[in-house]
Each structure stands twice: as structure tokens, then as C-alpha cells.
Copies of this chain bind each other. A is one copy, B any other.
Amino acid sequence: MTNPDFDVLTVGNAIVDIIARADDDFLVRENIIKASMNLIDAARAEHLYEVMGPAIEASGGSAGNTAAGIASLGGKAAYFGKVADDHLGEIFTHDIRAIGVDFGTKPLEGLPPTARSMIFVTPDGERSMNTYLGACVELGPEDVDADVVARSKVTYFEGYLWDPPRAKDAIRLAAQIAHDNQRQVAITLSDPFCVDRYRGEFLELMRSGTVDIIFANDAELKSLYETSDLATAMSLVKDDVTLAAVTRGEEGSIIVTGEESIEVAAHAIEVLEDTTGAGDLYASGFLYGLTHNYKLRDCALIGGLAAAEVIQHVGPRPQVSLADLLAQSGI
């Protein structure tokens, strides 16, 4: 095993976010499930854009946000994800490289276009996403750069990758390469409805040892084990993975291993503007800590620090240097 060149490789749907404010009535009227990721087709994307208010555009995608956060913390991050060779694809590519992430996945020539997610932020700061997957449906095993996987301490991927048809094959291949090189593999469960769509496969990934580490929020973890009781879900998950990091919004997070369970409070914020990216940036901070030999409690604190930055402004990626915030934090 040579020394790794990357702390974390993340793999996900490469998406540009189109973000607007909306009220709750709008979500009801347009049949958008609040606080979730709603998959949409091209026709619905066109309709929703027509009824959407003025928006801003920002590169997003859950694992893309996580990679950006790791880079902002000063970690070495790589990313696999499929854009098209169009203007949104250029924006995505620019932004992830500009923050210092290694991104070399070949863009899709021609159609479908780069994925976009129309995100409606309600007055409570909650985000409701409507994602047209576009070029992401073409991500497959041929996009796995084995060398990058072998050189990354952790390979981390989104549960969302089970939505496009062949990305799961890319993930299984990458996980095999990672483990062949004594690296770790992590998953985020992404969304309660996503868990509902792929519960059996996610549990199989965990129980077969294909993944070592799981990130989930409380709703996703309860969905995974089909229970309304978080304690029950927590007691089950510790048998299925080496490490679980469970986020609970303003209540902070809980880290569970075979040996211990650690509760960590959330980082204080002034104003909640937009929750988009909260879980993604928590994962950034946690994985940065894990790959820089911080104690588990400190990993969770760095996760909370990164999440707190991103929810205090509109947009899913950090707007200031997380490395500076970490240096000032005393963690």
C-alpha cells in the first residue's frame, strides 16, 4: 500500500442547483414533497422552471458538495460524476476544480444535458429539491479511475446513485478496488425516500462489508430499519457497519461504533437561511477529521462546524474558507 494521495474520493450525481425562495403553499400546490429530493423528468423540469420565482445558480450535488467542503478544510479530495459538455457542465467543472478538488470524469457529449435540481427554500430555511438527472444517467463503471480509488484513503458515495441505472455498478467496482488497497468505503443514505426505494440493496452493501462507514440523518436511519424509534435503529446499525455518523439537525449528531456511542451538540448558528448541503458538509468535516487522525468526537465537531457555515447562507457549498474556521474553532 503506497501512501494515499487523496484523503477522500467522493462519487455522486453531478448537479447544478437552481435555487429560489417559495412559501409552503407553493410546495403543496405543485405537489413537491417538502424537505426531500423529488426526482423529475424533463417535462416537469420545464413546468417547475416556469412557475419558479427568480433564482440563483450554484454548483451542487450531494457528494460534490462534500468534496468541496473537504477541499475547503484543506483536505485532498477527488470526485467522480457525470456532466454533459454544455454550459451548466462547464459551471460545475469550474466550481469543483476552483475549490481544489481533482475532477476528471469525461463529460457526456451531446444529450441529455447536465443535471439540475430546482430547489425551493421555504421561510423556515428548509429545502425541497426537484432533480432532473440528465447526463448523470450515463455514469458507469467505465468512469471509475482505478488509480484514484486506490490512492484515496476513503471512497464515499451517495445513496442517490442508485437512481441512475449503471452508477451502482461503478460503486461496486470502486468499493472492490478500495478494499483491495486496504482503503475504507463510506455511504450516505441521502434521503428517506431514496432509502425506501433501495432499502434492501443498502442493507446488503452494509452487511456484506461493501461499505464500512455510513452517514445518515435520523429520518433516513429510521427509514432504513423501518422503525419510528431512533434508539432501535441505532442499536441495529452498529452491527451492520464499523462506524455510523447520524445527524439530527439542531440536536447535533451521534457517532456509533461497535464499542461506543458519542453524542455531540450542534454548532451554534445565528440565522438559518437554507439547509441545502447541511448533511453533505457534515460529512466533509467528519471525513476530514477521520483522515487527519482527529478523535471521533472532534470529527463530529468539525462536521458540525462545516454544516453550520453552509446553512447560514443560500447555496450548498462553503462561501468562506472552512480551514480558517477550523483554525479559529479551537477543535
**A residues apposed to B, CB below 8 Å:** 20-21, 49, 52-59, 68, 86-88, 91, 94-96, 98-99, 313-315, 317, 319-320
CB contacts (< 8 Å) of A94 on chain B: these are 49, 52, 54-55
The chain B residue with its CB closest to the CB of A123 is B320
Hey, which chain B residues are within 8 Å of A317, CB to CB? Answer: 54
Give the complex CA separation of A58 and B98 in angstroms: 18
Q: Do residues A319 and B21 form an inter-chain contact, with CB atoms below 8 A?
A: yes
**10 additional A-B residue pairs with CB within 8 Å, beyond A56-B57, A87-B87, A313-B313:** A52-B94, A54-B59, A54-B68, A54-B94, A54-B98, A56-B56, A57-B57, A57-B91, A86-B87, A314-B319
Q: How many copies does the complex hold?
A: 2
A95 cross-chain contacts in B, Cβ below 8 A? 54-55
CB-based nearest B residue for A71? B54
B54:A57 contact, CB within 8 angstroms: no
28 residue pairs from A and B, CB less than 8 Å apart: A20-B98, A21-B319, A49-B94, A52-B94, A53-B98, A53-B99, A54-B59, A54-B68, A54-B94, A54-B95, A54-B96, A54-B98, A54-B317, A55-B91, A55-B94, A55-B95, A55-B98, A56-B56, A56-B57, A56-B315, A57-B57, A57-B58, A57-B91, A86-B87, A87-B88, A313-B313, A313-B314, A314-B319
Closest chain-B Cβ to A88's Cβ sits at a distance in Å of: 7
Q: What's the Cα separation between A259 and B105 when bound, in Å?
A: 66
Please, how many angstroms separate the alpha-carbon atoms of A313 and B312 in the complex? 11
Q: Across the interface, which residues of B come within 8 angstroms of A53, CB to CB?
A: 98-99
CB distance from A261 to the nearest CB of B (A): 36
**Bound: A49/B99 CA distance, A:** 13
Which residues from B are CB-within-8-Å of A313? Answer: 313-314
Nearest-neighbor residue (CB-CB) of A49 within chain B: B94
> Quick one: which of A58, A86, A88 has the most chain B CB within 10 A?
A58
CA distance A314 to B274 in the complex (A): 14
Complex Cα spacing A56 to B99, Å: 13
- Shortest Cβ distance from residue A294 to the other chain B in the assembled complex, whole angstroms: 25
Nearest Cβ distance between residue A114 and chain B, in whole angstroms? 9
Q: Which residue of the partner chain B has the closest CB to A72?
A: B54
When A and B form their complex, which 8 residue pairs have the shortest distance between CB atoms, in order from nearest? A57-B57, A54-B95, A87-B87, A56-B58, A54-B98, A54-B99, A53-B98, A56-B56
A56 and B320 alpha carbons, distance in the complex (Å)? 13
